[in-house]
Structure 1
Amino acid sequence: MTTTTTRSLLDLVPVIPVVVIDRVEDAVPLARALVDGGLPVIELTLRTPVAIEAIERIAAEVPEILVGAGTIVAPQQAMLAAAAGAQFLVSPGSTPSLLGAMTDTGLPHLPGVATVSEVLALLEAGYTEMKFFPAEAAGGAKFLASIHSPVQAARFCPTGGISISNAADYLALPNVGCVGGSWITPAAAMGAQEWTRIRTLAAQAATLGEHPGSAPG
């Protein structure tokens, strides 16, 4: 998200559900389950043929959720997602053309970083909020803790390898606003359309912001 955007994606919920949808008919009930569980934000990844249509349906039928498009890896995807009704964008990395395309949509966006040099490049471009990906593989919570002092202007949404067992470790850090997690929408639950289970997992994740540094019992 650029410094000119007034609403911060990092301060809405402790966990942004990162979701892969294979069946477009699952989009609306899934979004409603997340809202009912206390997580009114969804990052729907553009990894399946139905992703754009799923964004359209959620935007049209579940206005109480903030729907975003993730895995933006090409400039044209930013435009397609915005046209479908996405309200924010997330990319796993950043290039000048990708940043330009996301900026051109006028939507809040979180470009991805994995190194200190990439963080500095985005700070120079006017960004203070970023996705840290792949979080666990790129150094995890220890990495973010170690760069906070020299790079205090940057805040992060770590994604990649985050689970209920380590999310609180990230959320306890001063430079982490939220985390992205796919554990809230496990493939088995999605396949079986177990919306009650997903609502329960969302409710559990929503409590992580209440007690930083410890997972719920």
Structure 2
Amino acid sequence: MGKKTEALLAILQLQPVVPVLVVDRVATAIPLARALVDGGLKAIEITLRTDAALDAIKAVADEVEGAEVGAGTILNARQYEAAVKAGSRFIVSPGTTQELLDAATQSEVPLLPGAATPSEVMALREEGYAVMKFFPAEQAGGAAYLKSLASPLGGISFCPTGGITVKTAKDYLSLPNVICVGGSWVAPKALVEAGDWAAVTELAVQAKALATT
């Protein structure tokens, strides 16, 4: 196992649920991240789906003690480099291209590459990857589909993301080839807009507890 894989696993093994965040305003990023960390969710993925994303990543990396912030929805080498420069500790992509793999090879920051089919998983394994994002999880076949990959594609661990809820998370977390899940339910837009950080922390506590239920 390479150093970058070990570094990625060290982050993903911190908790059963990695919050997947769409941050519209940098001002909300720090209290939101603190609320999640206070609830036990230290690894946080901020997606590059808004103009505020890179500044939000930098703010969390610089100012939120205990947070392991990563960048999601990375689509190309330029975004990869920008996310690393902003302070991302890990990079997440919805799928995989040779450009992304080349960027990952040249960076010290590990990539969690997206895969949804056996062929994609096999191709990534040939590139040396043993930890992948299964996306879009629910739409691509859900926990039953991922369970069917465990035997023929042994040695591969997944972080399924996409459409997962607190109710379906347990189905994934019970699988031998799942290390954690990605979820947006721990930071609902309504709570974030209201600044109800105590409620976000409570959702984080409940998500953290999924590891023991």
Q: Deviations over 1:109-164 (max 9, x none)?
A: 20000100000000000000000000000011001111111111211000001100
Task: Give the % identical residues.
Answer: 54
* CA distance in 1 between partners of 2:146 and 2:115 (Å): 11
8 Å contact kept, 2:30–2:64: yes
* CA distance in 2 between partners of 1:113 and 1:200 (Å): 31
- Secondary structure of residue in 1 paired with 2:166: coil
Long gaps (5+) in structure 2: none
Hey, which bits of structure 1, 4+ residues long, moved more than 6 A?
A: none
Over aligned residues, Cα RMSD in angstroms?
1.1
Pair 1:92-2:67 in alignment: no
Residue aligning to 2:84? 82
Pair 1:171-2:165 in alignment: no
Residue aligning to 1:24? 26
After TM superposition, give the deviation of residue 178 of structure 1 in Å.
0.1
- Secondary structure of residue in 1 paired with 2:167: coil
After TM superposition, give the deviation of residue 102 of structure 1 in Å.
2.5
One-letter identity of the residue aligned with 2:128: G
- Secondary structure of residue in 1 paired with 2:46: strand
1:39-58, aligned counterparts within 5 Å? 39-58=41-60
Q: Deviations over 1:81-100 (max 9, x none)?
A: 00001110000000111111
* CA distance in 1 between partners of 2:125 and 2:65 (Å): 32
8 Å contact kept, 1:135–1:159: yes
- Secondary structure of residue in 2 paired with 1:89: strand
After TM superposition, give the deviation of residue 193 of structure 1 in Å.
1.3
8 Å contact kept, 2:16–2:207: yes
Deviates more, 1:98-107 or 1:73-82: 98-107
Residue aligning to 2:61? 59
8 Å contact kept, 2:12–2:43: no
* CA distance in 2 between partners of 1:176 and 1:100 (Å): 26
- Secondary structure of residue in 2 paired with 1:157: strand
Residue aligning to 2:147? 145
If the length of structure 1 is used for normalisation, what is the TM-score? 0.94
After TM superposition, give the deviation of residue 201 of structure 1 in Å.
0.4
Residue aligning to 2:116? 114
Structure with bigger helix share is 2
8 Å contact kept, 1:46–1:71: yes
After TM superposition, give the deviation of residue 41 of structure 1 in Å.
1.1
After TM superposition, give the deviation of residue 103 of structure 1 in Å.
2.8
Q: How many residues align?
A: 210
Which of the numbers 112, 124, 127 marks the counterpart of 1:125?
127
Q: Deviations over 1:31-90 (max 9, x none)?
A: 110111011110000000010000111111013110000000121000000000111000
Which of the numbers 14, 22, 31 marks the counterpart of 2:16?
14
